[in-house]
Amino acid sequence: MRHVSPAMSDATTPATAAPAPVSMDNLVALAKRRGFIFQSSEIYGGFNGFFDYGPLGAELKKNIRDCWWADMVQRRDDVVGIETSIIMHPKVWEASGHVAGFSDPLVDCKVSKQRYRADQLFFSPVVITGADGVAQTVGYVSALESENTAGELQTAAESFKRKKAIQGTLSPVVAKDLTEAREEEIALIPSPATGEPGSLTAPRAFNMMFQTNVGAMTDGSSVAYLRPETAQGMFVDFKNVVDTGRVKLPFGIAQIGKSFRNEITPRNFIFRSREFEQMEMEYFIHEDADWSKVHEEWIAWCEAWLKSIGLPDSHLSRYAHPKQKLAFYSRGTVDIMFKYPFGVQELWGIAARGSYDLTQHANASGKPQEVFDEATKKKFVPHVIEPAVGVDRIFLAVLCAGYAEEAVTDEKGNTETRTVLRLSPRIAPVKVAVLPLLKNKEVLVARAQALYKKLQRRYAVFYDETAAIGRRYRRQDEIGTPWCVTIDFDTIEKPGDTFTLRDRDTMQQRRVTEAELFALLEEQVY
Ligand code: GAP
C-alpha cells in the first residue's frame, strides 16, 4: 500500500518578508466569505450601522465574551456579574444626564441632505500671500476625518489655488473641525458632498438615544429608551448587589450586553455601529482611596487582558484625555488605542467617574446610595473606576491583527499565497480540525470520527474529509483554526496511536498522542 504523508501536501515555509498592510476590503471580504459577519437585512439592501454575525462570527464573539467574563468575573474574588434590562425606567437616563447631554454635534448639508458629525468634518482657510507680502484668506476647503486629514486639506487647498488661478504663496493648511468654526465661516466652508460652500448648517446637538414607547399608548408618557450603555444598570442595581451579594469595598459589578446609539455616521465596518455589545465593569472604591492608583491598575489589567487574547503590544497605545476636555465629574480617562488599518482608534475607555452616577441616582430616586464605613462609623457614596469596552471593536481588532496574506513555499519549491487568521487559541472559533487523510478508508474515518466526538464534548471542533489535505489546511488557516489533526496510516498501523498535529502559524507538523493533544488544548484554551 502506498501511504501519502500529509506533510507532503502542505506548503511548509512561511515567507519571512514583513507582512503587507491589512486591507479593510480584503478583511471585509473574508468576513463575508467565511461566515463571520454579514450586513444586517442584506436581502433588503442592508441596514446602515447594523450587522449580523454568522456561524464563525457568533462563535468568535462568544469566545471573546466568555474569556472576558471568566477573567473579569469568575476568576476574581472582587467582581460580581449581573445582567440588567435593555429598556430601563426613563428616569434612569434623566438622572444619568443622557437625556439632556448624550449627543454628538450634527451638521446638515441642505443641498445633498447628507449629515455629518461636526467633530469629524475638518476645514481650513486657504491663505495666500501675494507679491505685496500681504496674506489673505481667499476661500475654504473641507475634508472628512481620515488617516491623513491635513494632507487631504492641503491637496484641496492647492487645487483651489490652481482652479482659481490665484498668484502667490500658499500657506500650510490649519485643520480645525466644524465645532471650532466661527459663525461667519460656516457659510464659506464647502460641503464634502457638493464641493460648494453655502449649504452646511451650524452644528447642533443630536441626541443619540433610540426612543421607543412602552405599552399601548404612544404619547409622551410612554417614551422610553434603548440603553446607550450598559453601565447605568450597574449603578441602578448597586444597592441590590450590596444588600444581597456579600460584597465589600473595593469591589466591581460587571455586565455584558447590547447597547444602542443612533450614530450620525456609523463607519469602518463594525467599528462604529448603531447596535453593538459592551463589556463594562464599575469598580467601586472608598471615597478616600487613591483613585489614580486603582485607575492605573485597571488600565494595566485591560492591556494585559487584550494581550492574553492575542492582540500584539505593537498595535496598542494609550491616550490620556486632556483635563480640559473631561466631563466635569470625571477625574481622568485613559483610552487604550488600537492600530486599525484606518488609523489608531479607541478600543477601551477606562474612566475615573468619582461618585457622580451614584449621587445622581440617589438625588433623582430619593434612595441613598451609600455604604457604611466601619472604621469611621460614617456613611459615604463610593467612587468608581469604569473600564468600558465594545465586543465588536475587540472582534475587529483581533481580525485586523490576525489577518495575513503570505507567500509560502513547499518542499518542491512551489510558492503560493495563503490567507491566514492568526487568532489566539483562546478565542479561535474552531480549536481543532480533525481530518482523516482519505475519506474512502474506513479505518481512518472511524478513528477520526472517534477522536472528533471525544474532542467535541469539550471544544468547538470541525470535521472535514473533503478535498486534498493541503486544501483542507488552507480552509482552516483562513478561519483561524490553530491546529489540524490528521489521522493517517501511521495512526492505524504503527504503535502509539499517534496523529499528525499541524500548527497553523509555523505550518510545522509533529506526531502526538490523544493525551498530548488534550494536554495542549488544556494549556492553551482557557
Ligand atoms: N459607560 C461608558 C461608555 O459607554 P464609551 O466610551 O461611550 O463609554 C465604551 O463606550 C466603549 O464601547 C468604547 O470604548 C467602544 O469600545 C465601545 N463603543 C462605543 N460606541 C460604540 C459604537 N457605536 N460601536 C461599537 N462600539 C462602540
Predicted structure pTM score: 0.92
User: Which are the contacts of 453, defined by CB distance < 8 A and separation ≥ 6?
Assistant: none
Ligand 1, atom 27, lies closest to the CA of 390
Q: Is the CB of 282 under 6 A from ligand 1?
A: no
Ligand 1 center to residue 338 CA distance, Å? 14
Reported as type and span, the H/E element at residue 147 is none
Q: Is the CB of 334 under 6 A from ligand 1?
A: no
Q: Is the CB of 393 under 6 A from ligand 1?
A: yes
User: Which are the contacts of 340, defined by CB distance < 8 A and separation ≥ 6?
Assistant: 268, 271, 396, 397, 400
C-alpha distance across the termini of the chain, in Å:
42
Q: Are 254 and 223 in contact (CB under 8 A)?
A: no
Beta strands in 394-445 (DSSP E): 403-409, 415-421, 432-436
- Cell numbers 409622551 correspond to 220
Ligand 1 center to residue 290 CA distance, Å? 26
pLDDT per residue as tens, the chain (526 positions): 334 444 445 656 665 555 567 899 999 999 999 999 999 999 999 999 999 999 999 999 999 999 999 999 999 999 999 999 999 999 999 999 999 999 999 999 999 999 999 999 999 999 999 999 999 999 999 999 988 899 999 999 999 999 999 999 999 999 999 999 999 999 999 999 999 999 999 999 999 999 999 998 888 889 999 999 999 999 999 999 999 978 999 999 999 999 999 999 998 999 999 999 999 999 999 999 999 999 999 999 999 999 999 999 999 999 999 998 898 888 999 999 999 999 999 999 999 999 999 999 999 999 999 999 988 999 999 999 999 999 999 999 999 999 999 998 877 888 999 999 999 999 999 999 999 999 999 999 999 999 999 999 999 999 999 999 999 999 999 999 999 999 999 999 999 999 999 999 999 999 999 999 999 999 999 9
C-alpha cell at 260: 444602542
Burial environment of residue 343 by CB neighbours within 10 A (0 to 12, 13 to 18, 19 or more): middle
Compute how many other C-beta atoms are within 10 angstroms of the C-beta atom of residue 371: 20
Q: What is the amino acid identity at position 35?
A: G
